[in-house]
Every structure is written in structure tokens, then in C-alpha cells.
Amino acid sequence: MPDRPAPRRAALPENADLGHLRGQARTLQRGVRRGDPAALRRIRAQGLAAGSGGTGAAVPLDAFPLSAAQLAVAREYGFASWPRLKHHLDTVARYRWDPAATADPEPDETSADRFCRLACLGYTPADGPDRWARAAALLADEPGLVNAHSGAAAAAADVAALRRHLAADPSAAVRHSGPYGWSPLFHLVYSRLNAPSGDAPAAARLLLEAGADPHEGYLWHGLPSPFTLLTGAFGEGEQGPERQPRHPDALALARLLLDAGADPADSQALYNRMFGSDDDHLVLLFAHGLAESDGGVWKSRLGDALATPGEMLRGQLGWAVDHRMPERVRLLAAHGVDLRTPLDGSTGSTGGTFAERAQRNGDPELVALLVAHGADAPVPTPAEALLGAALAGDGAAVTALRAAHPEAAGEARAARPSAMVWAAAQGPAQGRAQGSPQGRAEVLGLLAGLGFDVNALGRGDIPSDQPWETALHHAAMAGDVPSVRLLLSLGADRTVRDRRFDGTPLDWARHFGQEETAAVLAAEPGVTGPPPG
């Protein structure tokens, strides 16, 4: 998610409730009153001096009030006061949506409700084309199910059926129905049924004219990033465009919603679409005031728990820089996104400025692009320059820097111990085709020559040393035979298991259907052949 400014804050526990948080405050209060060092450090970290009571008035330590402990707990979770924390919990309770709680059909579920369940994205592992095909088959077998309620008619984008519902009862435009208790418009934009082109925008226009709320949204599992109507229209996300695609009429629906007042600073829509390489959603959102937005209705509801539009856009820029998306960087820069303020690294990736990040990732062209748009030119240390040259696949620069600064290799290894993982996942930014197997193998060879650990655990989605998986896992997943062979020749452990899914590199290759790398990894040690020349 987007980078957040300092100070860092703890994430609220899942299913947090006020009683549990009151208990935390009472525990802190007791700790302060008995002089517990950890408790005293906590209140000092939140600007509450022991004995002040949080109000500036001196009180004995053993009289530290509960209200001050509640203020400290609220601040630890990023809220300015206990009442603001309570307001946030009330908001979460009102808008929370747990798709897993209604994932399984009831024994007496109607055909219309089953159709809605199958047709719509729930952002669960069950999403996928097979469900939408079953929804289409059900509708073909029982075309009259659209008459059961307006949610089913909307999920089918059946304009005639919606008109019948509205003629019988105008409140059908906002009536919640179906297994998820959604409004018709929510069913419409989250449906992935292959309705005839043009029906969905016409149905959306009909519902909006009848009073549907363009701001509608839910807090998925209570997380403070609302899944709105725009989120549903734009689609996509961590499971990829096949399992969570955009709506077939995504842009037309989004334009209708924005024209009706939906706020363009939609944090979840921005997050879900940042993984892909096209920017049509950003172009549309900027055209409707994304750069000038104050966060709209959802920022008012969630307050500090929701990132500001500026923070959202800096998060988008960070992802674009890390994943070598120059056109997106250019688009964000052209709309005034802050290029100069350093990142704090609170998302687990490296901090520094965007230009420094691009330099460390071995992308000099992106550094130049950022500087041309107003970013300060990075001044790398010898270790940073060496790492950047290696990740760029620039062997000549690596040789020259290593000769001039013999200590730089050790410093680079200490600063970025899992660089091999990032290289296996991303490949070079220049020279050979970006991310090509041969290019990745060359970068891995340069890093190995600098003494980087071939079995280090790190992350391949962001430049972070968080211990998730190895370079061999990523090469296996990518079907990158040259890199797999090279890594094995360098001593990569084919039996190591990643820390998230408990899978070996061979498991990863098989899961992602990479038969060639699976065959190499399944071979007996010593028969994989020499590394590429």
C-alpha cells in the first residue's frame, strides 16, 4: 500500500473492538503506575511524559489516569485521540464486509442469490472464470431469475428487467439484496458476466438517475481502504487480471460514476490497478480531479486511517519506480506528484528519494527521467553505485568501481543482503531486453561475483530484505532456465522452502506451470549442465 509519513503506527488488530482496546489501555495504565520501563517508554514515545496525565498537569505516577493511557493507545494506532479511534471503529462496524462469512450458499438459497454469488467478484480465492461461466449457464437455464430482485437484474445488466423493478417500486434502485446484501449498482459493477456490450453502462445510468449512491463502498474485512463502485469497475488486484479482471465496460462505468460525483482518489482502485502496465485508469482519474482531490466522502468517514490522496499517489510512484514503468512515472510527475520528499521505508522496502531508489535498483534511465521532472540527482556512495551497476547489468562499471573502491562490495552486501532475489525477479533495466532470462542470468552472475549470498531470503515484489523467498524460487516461477542453471551451479539450495507458502523452488515451478524449470530442478544434483556462457 502507499508509503505513509513518519511517525510509524501500529496496525489495528483484525476484528478490533473497543472493549479489547480499552483492555490494552488499562494494561498500559497499570504498567505506568508501577513504573514498568516498557510502559514508560510507550507513553514517552507518544508525547506523554510520565506524571503529566497527558494534559500537562502534574500528577503522581501512581495516579496516571486511564484517559491518558487511552490517548497513548490511540496515538500508537495513528489516531489523534481516543474519540477518533472510537469513531473509526464505529465506521468499520457500519461498513465492514467479510466475503468469507457469506462465501458458502445457504441450503435454501434462491436461484437469483446463487446467480449473484457466482457472477460477482468477491475478492476471495474463489474468484475466477469458472464461476462466471456457471453464472451464465444458470441465467441461460433460468432467465426469469432477474425478476426476483433488482440485484440479480443488475448483475445481469438487464436493463429491461431493471426498468420493470423500478416501475413497480422506485426504491428498488437502492434496495440491498442478494447473498452479500449489496445494492443493484454494486452488483452491476462487480459482476463479471459477459453481458452484451453497452448494457452495463445503460443499466448504471438508469440506476444513478433513479437515486443510486455513487459513493457506495464497503470495508473489506474491516480494512481502511474501501472497496467502492469505482474499485469494482476498474477491477484487477493481487490475483491478476484473469481471476479478477476489470469490468468489460470499465472505463465507461467509471466515467459515469465520476460524473455522478464518485471521488477519484480511490485508494483500493489505485492499488488494484498498479500491478498492470497500462494507465488508462489513471488518465481518467486525473481528468476528473485526482490531483486536486481532498479524499472525498471516504476520507471524511475514515479520517487519518485512510491515506491522503498525496500519499496514495506517492505510493503509486514508488511502485512505478521499483517496477520500471517510465510512462507511469512521467504521468504522475506531470500531475505534480511530490518527487523530492524522501520515503521512510515504512512499507518494508528501502527508503530514500525516488531517484535514489531508482539508482539503487540499477535504472539510470529512470533516474534521468525523475531528475528531468524536478527530482534531486542522487549522489550514491561507492557501495550504492556498485550495487546499481550490478543490477543494471553493467559489468564494465562493476569492474571499475570494484577496483577503485575495494571495500564497496562488502558494504553493498551489508546494505542489501537479498539483492539476488530482486535480480532474479526483476532483471536488468538496460542492455539486454528487460527481464529476459539471459539478462537476469548476467545480473545474477555479477552479484555472485561480488559475494552476494545465493540462498538469501528476500522479496521480489518490492526491493526489501524481508525474508520471504530465494532467487531460485523466482527463477523457477519465471521459467528462467538459464538463471536456474546458474543459481544451482553457484550452490543454490533447491530444497529451501519459502516463508509464506512453505514451498520449494520446484513447488513454485510446478504451481506456475513452468515445466522446463521444474524438469531442471527435479533432476539429480550435478546433472543440470553448465551455467550459460
Q: Give the type of residue at 437.
A: P
- b/e sequence 395-433, b meaning 16+ C-beta within 10 Å: bebbeebbeebeebbebbbeebbbbbbbbbbbbbbebbe
How many residues are listed for the chain in this entry? 533
CA gyration radius, the chain: 27
Grid cell at residue 261: 460525483
Angle at 298 between CA 294 and CA 301, to 5 degrees: 110
pLDDT tens across the length of the chain (533 residues): 333 223 345 778 777 889 999 999 999 999 999 999 999 999 989 988 655 545 444 567 788 999 999 999 999 998 889 999 999 999 998 999 888 766 667 788 999 999 999 999 999 888 999 999 999 999 999 999 999 999 999 999 999 999 999 999 999 999 999 999 999 999 999 999 975 556 999 999 999 999 999 999 999 988 889 999 999 999 999 999 999 999 999 999 999 999 999 999 999 999 999 999 899 999 999 999 999 999 999 999 998 889 999 999 999 999 999 999 999 999 999 999 999 998 765 444 556 899 999 999 999 999 999 999 999 999 999 999 999 999 999 999 999 999 999 999 999 999 999 999 999 998 665 443 344 555 789 999 999 999 999 999 999 999 999 999 999 999 999 999 999 999 999 999 999 999 999 999 999 999 999 999 999 999 866 544 443 33
Sorted by sequence, the CB contacts under 8 Å of residue 171 that are 6+ apart come out as none
The half-sphere exposure of 323 on its side-chain side, counting CA atoms within 13 A, is 16
Grid cell at residue 396: 564494465
pTM to 2 decimals? Answer: 0.85
3-state secondary structure 342-376: CECCCCCCCCECHHHHHHHCCCHHHHHHHHHCCCC
- Domains of the chain plus CATH, in order, are 18-94 (no CATH), 100-307 (1.25.40.20), 311-372 (no CATH), 382-522 (1.25.40.20)
3-state secondary structure 12-30: CCCCCCHHHHHHHHHHHHH
